[in-house]
Amino acid sequence: MKKQLIKPESTFKMYEILGGLWLTGCVKTAAELNIADLLAAGPKAISLLAEKTQSHEAQLYRIMRALSSAGIFEESESKTFALNDLGAALQTNVPGTAKNFILTIMSEHFPAYGDLTYAVHTGKIPFDHIHGKSLWEFYKEYPEIGENFGKGMTGMSGMELKGIIENYDFTPYKKMVDIGGGNGVMIHTILDNTPNSAGIIFDEANVIEKTVQMIPDRLKERCSVAIGSFFDKIPEGADLYMMKWIIHDWSDDECVQILKNCYHAMPKGAKLLIIDAVIPDDSYNQPHMAKLLDIVMMSCLTGRERSLQEFKIIIEKADLQFNRLIHIGTEAKSIVECEKA
Protein backbone atom coordinates (compact mmCIF):
# COMPACT_ATOMS: atom_id res chain seq x y z
CA MET A 1 0.00 0.00 0.00
CA LYS A 2 1.51 3.28 -1.12
CA LYS A 3 1.81 5.95 1.58
CA GLN A 4 2.20 9.69 1.20
CA LEU A 5 5.30 11.35 2.61
CA ILE A 6 4.58 13.38 5.77
CA LYS A 7 5.91 16.93 5.71
CA PRO A 8 7.43 18.19 9.00
CA GLU A 9 5.13 21.22 8.97
CA SER A 10 2.11 18.89 8.81
CA THR A 11 3.22 17.06 11.94
CA PHE A 12 3.84 20.37 13.70
CA LYS A 13 0.36 21.58 12.70
CA MET A 14 -1.14 18.42 14.22
CA TYR A 15 0.63 19.18 17.49
CA GLU A 16 -0.77 22.72 17.37
CA ILE A 17 -4.27 21.30 16.98
CA LEU A 18 -3.68 18.92 19.89
CA GLY A 19 -2.44 21.89 21.91
CA GLY A 20 -5.97 23.23 21.84
CA LEU A 21 -6.99 20.34 24.09
CA TRP A 22 -4.24 21.06 26.59
CA LEU A 23 -5.06 24.75 26.60
CA THR A 24 -8.77 24.05 27.12
CA GLY A 25 -7.84 22.01 30.20
CA CYS A 26 -6.09 25.10 31.55
CA VAL A 27 -9.18 27.22 30.77
CA LYS A 28 -11.32 24.77 32.75
CA THR A 29 -9.01 25.07 35.76
CA ALA A 30 -9.10 28.87 35.61
CA ALA A 31 -12.91 28.74 35.47
CA GLU A 32 -13.16 26.32 38.39
CA LEU A 33 -10.81 28.46 40.50
CA ASN A 34 -12.64 31.72 39.65
CA ILE A 35 -9.37 33.31 38.51
CA ALA A 36 -11.12 35.96 36.38
CA ASP A 37 -13.25 37.05 39.36
CA LEU A 38 -10.14 37.43 41.51
CA LEU A 39 -8.37 39.50 38.85
CA ALA A 40 -11.38 41.75 38.16
CA ALA A 41 -10.36 43.99 41.08
CA GLY A 42 -6.82 44.37 39.72
CA PRO A 43 -3.56 42.49 38.97
CA LYS A 44 -2.37 39.91 41.48
CA ALA A 45 0.86 38.02 42.06
CA ILE A 46 0.76 34.28 41.62
CA SER A 47 1.45 33.83 45.34
CA LEU A 48 -1.76 35.72 46.20
CA LEU A 49 -3.77 33.85 43.55
CA ALA A 50 -2.52 30.57 44.97
CA GLU A 51 -3.45 31.66 48.49
CA LYS A 52 -6.95 32.81 47.43
CA THR A 53 -7.64 29.59 45.51
CA GLN A 54 -5.92 27.26 48.01
CA SER A 55 -3.66 26.05 45.20
CA HIS A 56 -0.11 24.83 44.79
CA GLU A 57 1.71 27.99 43.67
CA ALA A 58 4.16 26.42 41.22
CA GLN A 59 1.47 24.37 39.51
CA LEU A 60 -0.93 27.29 39.29
CA TYR A 61 1.82 29.42 37.76
CA ARG A 62 2.34 26.87 34.99
CA ILE A 63 -1.39 27.01 34.18
CA MET A 64 -1.47 30.82 34.19
CA ARG A 65 1.70 31.05 32.09
CA ALA A 66 0.17 28.80 29.43
CA LEU A 67 -3.07 30.78 29.41
CA SER A 68 -1.27 34.11 29.15
CA SER A 69 0.81 32.81 26.25
CA ALA A 70 -2.48 32.24 24.40
CA GLY A 71 -3.78 35.72 25.18
CA ILE A 72 -6.00 34.66 28.08
CA PHE A 73 -4.90 36.91 30.98
CA GLU A 74 -1.66 38.90 30.89
CA GLU A 75 1.57 38.13 32.74
CA SER A 76 3.99 40.85 33.80
CA GLU A 77 7.18 40.90 35.88
CA SER A 78 7.37 39.03 39.19
CA LYS A 79 4.80 36.47 38.06
CA THR A 80 1.92 38.94 38.33
CA PHE A 81 -1.24 38.43 36.29
CA ALA A 82 -3.95 40.81 35.08
CA LEU A 83 -7.37 40.43 33.53
CA ASN A 84 -7.75 41.27 29.83
CA ASP A 85 -10.73 41.22 27.48
CA LEU A 86 -10.43 37.52 26.65
CA GLY A 87 -9.93 36.45 30.26
CA ALA A 88 -12.93 38.58 31.27
CA ALA A 89 -15.17 36.07 29.45
CA LEU A 90 -14.47 33.65 32.34
CA GLN A 91 -16.09 35.83 35.00
CA THR A 92 -19.03 34.54 37.05
CA ASN A 93 -22.58 35.85 36.50
CA VAL A 94 -21.56 38.54 34.02
CA PRO A 95 -23.60 38.95 30.79
CA GLY A 96 -21.82 37.17 27.96
CA THR A 97 -19.76 34.91 30.21
CA ALA A 98 -18.43 31.70 28.66
CA LYS A 99 -17.62 30.18 32.06
CA ASN A 100 -20.66 27.96 32.53
CA PHE A 101 -20.55 26.65 28.97
CA ILE A 102 -16.86 25.80 29.38
CA LEU A 103 -17.59 23.87 32.57
CA THR A 104 -20.36 21.97 30.77
CA ILE A 105 -18.19 21.09 27.76
CA MET A 106 -15.20 20.13 29.90
CA SER A 107 -17.12 18.19 32.56
CA GLU A 108 -20.11 15.96 31.75
CA HIS A 109 -19.75 16.37 27.95
CA PHE A 110 -16.00 15.90 27.74
CA PRO A 111 -15.68 12.06 27.88
CA ALA A 112 -18.00 11.81 24.87
CA TYR A 113 -15.56 13.66 22.62
CA GLY A 114 -12.99 10.93 23.19
CA ASP A 115 -15.50 8.28 22.11
CA LEU A 116 -16.48 9.52 18.66
CA THR A 117 -15.36 6.24 17.09
CA TYR A 118 -18.25 4.61 18.97
CA ALA A 119 -20.63 7.01 17.23
CA VAL A 120 -19.07 6.31 13.82
CA HIS A 121 -19.19 2.52 14.27
CA THR A 122 -22.67 2.29 15.80
CA GLY A 123 -24.57 5.45 14.85
CA LYS A 124 -25.36 5.81 18.54
CA ILE A 125 -24.63 8.57 21.05
CA PRO A 126 -21.33 8.47 23.00
CA PHE A 127 -22.79 10.44 25.94
CA ASP A 128 -25.50 7.80 26.45
CA HIS A 129 -22.92 5.03 26.14
CA ILE A 130 -20.63 6.58 28.76
CA HIS A 131 -23.19 7.84 31.29
CA GLY A 132 -25.83 5.15 30.81
CA LYS A 133 -28.56 7.73 30.19
CA SER A 134 -29.41 10.53 27.78
CA LEU A 135 -28.23 14.09 28.31
CA TRP A 136 -31.71 15.26 29.33
CA GLU A 137 -32.16 12.34 31.76
CA PHE A 138 -28.72 13.17 33.20
CA TYR A 139 -29.71 16.77 33.87
CA LYS A 140 -32.97 15.72 35.50
CA GLU A 141 -31.04 13.36 37.80
CA TYR A 142 -28.44 16.02 38.59
CA PRO A 143 -30.39 19.30 38.52
CA GLU A 144 -27.49 21.41 39.82
CA ILE A 145 -25.40 20.32 36.82
CA GLY A 146 -28.39 20.98 34.58
CA GLU A 147 -28.67 24.46 36.04
CA ASN A 148 -25.06 25.16 35.08
CA PHE A 149 -25.85 23.94 31.55
CA GLY A 150 -28.77 26.39 31.41
CA LYS A 151 -26.53 29.22 32.57
CA GLY A 152 -24.03 28.21 29.91
CA MET A 153 -26.67 28.57 27.20
CA THR A 154 -27.63 31.98 28.60
CA GLY A 155 -24.03 33.14 28.72
CA MET A 156 -23.57 32.29 25.05
CA SER A 157 -26.70 34.28 24.14
CA GLY A 158 -25.51 37.84 24.78
CA MET A 159 -24.02 38.66 21.38
CA GLU A 160 -26.63 36.50 19.65
CA LEU A 161 -29.57 38.35 21.23
CA LYS A 162 -28.10 41.65 20.10
CA GLY A 163 -27.83 40.26 16.57
CA ILE A 164 -31.38 38.89 16.68
CA ILE A 165 -32.86 42.22 17.81
CA GLU A 166 -30.85 44.21 15.27
CA ASN A 167 -31.70 41.97 12.32
CA TYR A 168 -35.34 41.00 12.88
CA ASP A 169 -38.34 43.29 13.36
CA PHE A 170 -40.52 41.92 16.17
CA THR A 171 -42.82 44.96 16.42
CA PRO A 172 -45.61 43.61 14.14
CA TYR A 173 -46.28 40.67 16.46
CA LYS A 174 -48.67 41.05 19.38
CA LYS A 175 -48.42 37.56 20.86
CA MET A 176 -45.19 35.56 20.81
CA VAL A 177 -44.27 32.10 22.13
CA ASP A 178 -40.69 31.12 22.97
CA ILE A 179 -40.70 27.33 22.62
CA GLY A 180 -38.21 25.71 24.99
CA GLY A 181 -37.56 29.21 26.28
CA GLY A 182 -35.71 28.15 29.43
CA ASN A 183 -35.04 31.06 31.75
CA GLY A 184 -36.75 33.50 29.40
CA VAL A 185 -33.81 35.78 28.59
CA MET A 186 -34.65 35.90 24.87
CA ILE A 187 -38.32 36.79 25.31
CA HIS A 188 -37.41 39.36 27.99
CA THR A 189 -35.03 41.04 25.53
CA ILE A 190 -37.60 41.01 22.74
CA LEU A 191 -40.39 42.40 24.95
CA ASP A 192 -38.11 45.19 26.11
CA ASN A 193 -37.93 46.21 22.45
CA THR A 194 -41.64 45.70 21.65
CA PRO A 195 -43.71 47.59 24.26
CA ASN A 196 -47.03 46.61 22.64
CA SER A 197 -46.38 42.86 22.57
CA ALA A 198 -46.93 39.98 25.00
CA GLY A 199 -44.88 36.82 25.30
CA ILE A 200 -45.20 33.26 26.60
CA ILE A 201 -42.25 31.14 27.74
CA PHE A 202 -43.05 27.49 27.04
CA ASP A 203 -41.01 24.73 28.66
CA GLU A 204 -41.17 21.68 30.92
CA ALA A 205 -42.27 21.92 34.55
CA ASN A 206 -38.82 21.41 36.07
CA VAL A 207 -37.53 24.39 34.05
CA ILE A 208 -40.53 26.71 34.43
CA GLU A 209 -40.31 26.69 38.24
CA LYS A 210 -37.30 28.99 38.07
CA THR A 211 -38.44 30.76 34.90
CA VAL A 212 -41.36 32.33 36.76
CA GLN A 213 -39.03 33.76 39.39
CA MET A 214 -36.82 35.34 36.72
CA ILE A 215 -39.49 37.39 34.93
CA PRO A 216 -38.57 41.05 35.59
CA ASP A 217 -41.15 43.16 37.41
CA ARG A 218 -41.35 45.51 34.43
CA LEU A 219 -42.56 42.62 32.22
CA LYS A 220 -44.86 40.67 34.53
CA GLU A 221 -48.02 42.09 32.92
CA ARG A 222 -46.85 41.10 29.43
CA CYS A 223 -44.84 37.92 30.03
CA SER A 224 -46.32 34.60 31.18
CA VAL A 225 -45.37 30.93 31.18
CA ALA A 226 -46.89 27.69 29.91
CA ILE A 227 -45.89 24.17 30.91
CA GLY A 228 -45.63 21.25 28.52
CA SER A 229 -43.54 19.33 26.01
CA PHE A 230 -43.07 20.42 22.41
CA PHE A 231 -43.42 16.74 21.50
CA ASP A 232 -47.05 16.86 22.67
CA LYS A 233 -48.75 20.24 22.25
CA ILE A 234 -47.69 23.85 21.89
CA PRO A 235 -49.68 26.93 23.04
CA GLU A 236 -52.07 27.98 20.28
CA GLY A 237 -53.03 31.27 18.71
CA ALA A 238 -49.82 33.33 18.68
CA ASP A 239 -48.70 35.22 15.61
CA LEU A 240 -45.00 34.48 16.18
CA TYR A 241 -43.30 31.33 17.47
CA MET A 242 -39.57 30.94 18.01
CA MET A 243 -37.09 28.24 18.97
CA LYS A 244 -33.47 29.06 19.77
CA TRP A 245 -31.00 26.16 19.85
CA ILE A 246 -33.86 23.63 20.01
CA ILE A 247 -34.11 22.01 16.58
CA HIS A 248 -30.40 21.16 16.44
CA ASP A 249 -30.83 18.93 19.52
CA TRP A 250 -33.02 16.40 17.69
CA SER A 251 -33.00 13.95 14.78
CA ASP A 252 -34.81 14.75 11.54
CA ASP A 253 -37.85 12.64 12.51
CA GLU A 254 -38.02 14.26 15.96
CA CYS A 255 -37.71 17.70 14.38
CA VAL A 256 -40.56 17.02 11.97
CA GLN A 257 -42.73 16.00 14.94
CA ILE A 258 -41.87 19.23 16.78
CA LEU A 259 -42.46 21.34 13.68
CA LYS A 260 -45.80 19.64 12.97
CA ASN A 261 -46.90 20.49 16.51
CA CYS A 262 -45.91 24.09 15.78
CA TYR A 263 -47.94 23.95 12.57
CA HIS A 264 -51.04 22.75 14.42
CA ALA A 265 -50.69 25.53 17.03
CA MET A 266 -50.13 28.32 14.50
CA PRO A 267 -52.94 30.34 12.92
CA LYS A 268 -52.70 30.83 9.18
CA GLY A 269 -50.09 33.49 8.43
CA ALA A 270 -48.23 33.05 11.71
CA LYS A 271 -44.45 32.93 11.57
CA LEU A 272 -41.96 30.49 13.13
CA LEU A 273 -38.33 31.43 13.71
CA ILE A 274 -35.82 28.58 13.96
CA ILE A 275 -32.72 30.15 15.50
CA ASP A 276 -29.84 27.76 14.97
CA ALA A 277 -26.47 27.48 13.29
CA VAL A 278 -26.73 27.01 9.53
CA ILE A 279 -23.88 25.34 7.64
CA PRO A 280 -23.36 27.04 4.25
CA ASP A 281 -24.29 24.62 1.47
CA ASP A 282 -21.18 25.48 -0.55
CA SER A 283 -18.59 25.60 2.26
CA TYR A 284 -16.44 22.66 1.14
CA ASN A 285 -13.07 22.64 2.94
CA GLN A 286 -13.89 25.96 4.61
CA PRO A 287 -13.91 26.41 8.40
CA HIS A 288 -17.29 27.20 9.98
CA MET A 289 -18.29 27.15 13.65
CA ALA A 290 -21.38 25.05 12.89
CA LYS A 291 -19.20 22.20 11.60
CA LEU A 292 -17.60 21.94 15.05
CA LEU A 293 -20.86 22.46 16.94
CA ASP A 294 -22.12 19.50 14.92
CA ILE A 295 -19.53 17.32 16.68
CA VAL A 296 -21.02 18.39 20.01
CA MET A 297 -24.41 17.24 18.74
CA MET A 298 -23.04 13.90 17.51
CA SER A 299 -21.30 13.33 20.85
CA CYS A 300 -24.18 14.13 23.15
CA LEU A 301 -27.56 14.12 21.38
CA THR A 302 -29.61 12.70 18.52
CA GLY A 303 -29.42 16.06 16.78
CA ARG A 304 -27.15 17.75 14.27
CA GLU A 305 -26.29 21.11 12.80
CA ARG A 306 -27.88 21.49 9.37
CA SER A 307 -27.36 23.21 6.06
CA LEU A 308 -30.13 25.44 4.72
CA GLN A 309 -31.13 22.71 2.29
CA GLU A 310 -31.47 20.24 5.17
CA PHE A 311 -33.61 22.75 7.07
CA LYS A 312 -35.86 23.18 4.04
CA ILE A 313 -36.46 19.42 3.88
CA ILE A 314 -37.72 19.09 7.48
CA ILE A 315 -39.71 22.33 7.18
CA GLU A 316 -41.49 21.05 4.08
CA LYS A 317 -42.23 17.70 5.74
CA ALA A 318 -44.03 19.60 8.52
CA ASP A 319 -46.18 21.42 5.91
CA LEU A 320 -44.58 24.77 6.76
CA GLN A 321 -43.31 27.25 4.18
CA PHE A 322 -39.70 28.45 4.22
CA ASN A 323 -39.53 32.22 3.84
CA ARG A 324 -35.94 33.38 4.24
CA LEU A 325 -32.57 32.99 5.98
CA ILE A 326 -31.42 35.93 8.11
CA HIS A 327 -27.82 36.25 9.26
CA ILE A 328 -27.28 37.87 12.67
CA GLY A 329 -23.52 38.38 12.74
CA THR A 330 -22.31 35.08 14.21
CA GLU A 331 -21.71 31.67 12.66
CA ALA A 332 -23.20 30.06 15.76
CA LYS A 333 -26.72 31.29 14.92
CA SER A 334 -28.91 32.42 12.04
CA ILE A 335 -32.67 32.86 11.77
CA VAL A 336 -34.61 30.51 9.52
CA GLU A 337 -38.03 32.14 9.05
CA CYS A 338 -40.99 29.87 8.27
CA GLU A 339 -44.70 30.49 7.88
CA LYS A 340 -48.01 28.65 8.01
CA ALA A 341 -49.27 29.53 4.56
What pLDDT tens digit does each residue of the chain (341 aa) get? 788 999 989 999 999 999 999 999 999 999 999 999 999 999 999 999 999 999 999 999 999 999 999 999 999 999 999 999 999 999 999 888 999 999 999 999 999 999 999 999 999 999 999 999 999 999 999 999 998 998 888 777 766 898 999 999 999 999 999 999 988 999 999 999 999 999 999 999 988 888 999 999 999 999 999 999 999 999 999 999 999 999 999 999 999 999 999 999 999 999 999 999 999 988 889 999 999 999 999 999 999 999 999 999 999 999 999 999 999 999 999 999 999 99
**Judgement on whether residues 137 and 236 belong to the same structural domain of the protein:** no
- Please check whether residue 93 lies inside any domain of the structure: no
Query: CA–CA separation, 183 vs 66, rounded Å?
Result: 35
Q: Are residues 252 and 133 in the same domain?
A: no
- Which of the residues 248, 264, 288, 327 is marked catalytic? 248
My answer on whether 270 and 253 are in the same domain is yes
CA 38 to each of CA 18, 75, 85: distance values in angstroms, whole numbers, following the listed order: 29, 15, 15
Identify whether residues 246 and 217 lie together within a single domain: yes
Same domain, 74 and 170: no
Question: Is position 119 within any domain?
Answer: yes
**Is residue 2 in a domain?**
no
List C-alpha distances in Å: 119 to 103, 126, 227, 248, 256: 23, 6, 33, 17, 23
> Per the confidence metrics, is the pTM higher than 0.95?
no
Q: Are residues 211 and 320 in the same domain?
A: yes
Same domain, 322 and 204: yes
Q: What is the pLDDT of residue 218?
A: 97
Instruction: Tell me, yes or no, whether 17 and 112 share the same domain.
Output: no
pLDDT at 178: 98
Is residue 188 flagged as an active site residue?
no
Q: CA–CA separation, 202 vs 80, rounded Å?
A: 48
Domain co-membership, 318 together with 231:
yes
User: What is the domain range of residue 18?
Assistant: 8-88
The reply to whether 177 falls in a domain is: yes
Measured at the alpha carbon of residue 295, what is the angle toward residues 292 and 299, in degrees to the nearest 5?
155
With respect to residue 1, please indicate whether it lies within any of the assigned structural domains: no
> Total structural domains in the chain?
3
d(CA 70, CA 63): 11
Distance from C-alpha of 99 to C-alpha of 94, rounded to nearest angstrom: 9
In a domain, 3, yes or no: no
At residue 219, φ and ψ (nearest 5 deg) are: -115, 0
Q: Compute φ and ψ for 223, nearest 5 degrees.
A: -125, 125
Residues 231/207, Cβ–Cβ less than 8 Å: no
- Say if 33 falls within a structural domain: yes
Q: What is the DSSP letter of 79?
A: G
Same domain, 189 and 335: yes
